[in-house]
């Protein structure tokens, strides 16, 4: 059994982990448990908001994994088929910067302290999806 405690810094909503950060950590734990290559695709499905700063347990059988807390299923995960390359390739930095001003969260954001896209954070990712 592998455990994980999510530091408060990696929140999405105020009392929950950021979904993308949490899913990435679960995928990393699955890689470690299965001894698979770090670039192998892992499918993670969130079932409930992951709590912060408590010990969560990842349990699995080598094929599928579950992370729960207090009887609540938080996530399931499994190795997946390789992902196809994205169509059209990546955008340039200039293209991304040009659309960042259209990010709706700049006007009204439901979770301004979110680790990935929050507008009130200076220590986070500051993504501006538009």
Q: What is the pLDDT of residues 38-80, one digit of tens each?
A: 778 899 999 999 999 999 999 999 889 999 999 999 999 999 9
Q: Which residue has the tokens 């990935």?
A: 116
pTM: 0.85
> Could you tell me which residues come within 8 angstroms of residue 97 by beta carbon, excluding any fewer than 6 positions away?
none
Please compute the mean of the pLDDT values over residues 107-118 and round it to a whole number: 93
Domain ranges within the chain, ordered by starting residue: 2-79, 84-130
- Mean of per-residue pLDDT scores for the chain: 92
**The predicted structure's pLDDT at residue 111:** 94
- Would you tell me how many other CB atoms lie within 10 Å of the CB of residue 19? 18
Q: Quick one: fold of 2-79?
A: Thiol Ester Dehydrase; Chain A (3.10.129)
pLDDT at 30 over 80: yes
**The predicted structure's pLDDT at residue 89:** 80
Task: Let me know: does 95 contact 65? Beta carbons within 8 Å.
Answer: no
**The predicted structure's pLDDT at residue 86:** 77
Q: How confident is the model at residue 27 (pLDDT cuts 50, 70, 90)?
A: very high
Task: Let me know: does 14 contact 112? Beta carbons within 8 Å.
Answer: no
Rounded to 5°, the CA angle 7-127-122 comes to 60
> Could you tell me which residues come within 8 angstroms of residue 95 by beta carbon, excluding any fewer than 6 positions away?
none
pLDDT at 130 over 80: no
Compute the distance between CA of residue 37 and CA of residue 2 in angstroms, rounded to an integer: 18
């Amino acid at each position: 059994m592998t455990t994980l405690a999510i530091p408060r810094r990696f929140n999405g909503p105020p009392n929950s982990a950021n979904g993308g950060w949490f899913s990435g950590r679960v995928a990393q734990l699955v890689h470690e448990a299965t001894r698979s290559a770090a670039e192998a695709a892992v499918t993670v499905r969130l079932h409930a908001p992951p709590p912060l700063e408590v010990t969560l347990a990842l349990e699995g059988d080598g094929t599928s994994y579950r992370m729960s807390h207090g009887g609540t299923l938080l996530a399931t995960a499994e190795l997946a088929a390789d992902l196809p390359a994205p169509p059209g390739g990546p955008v340039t930095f200039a293209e991304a910067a040009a659309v960042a001003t259209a990010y709706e969260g700049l006007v009204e954001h439901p979770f301004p302290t979110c680790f990935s896209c929050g507008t009130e954070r200076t220590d986070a990712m500051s993504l501006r999806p538009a």
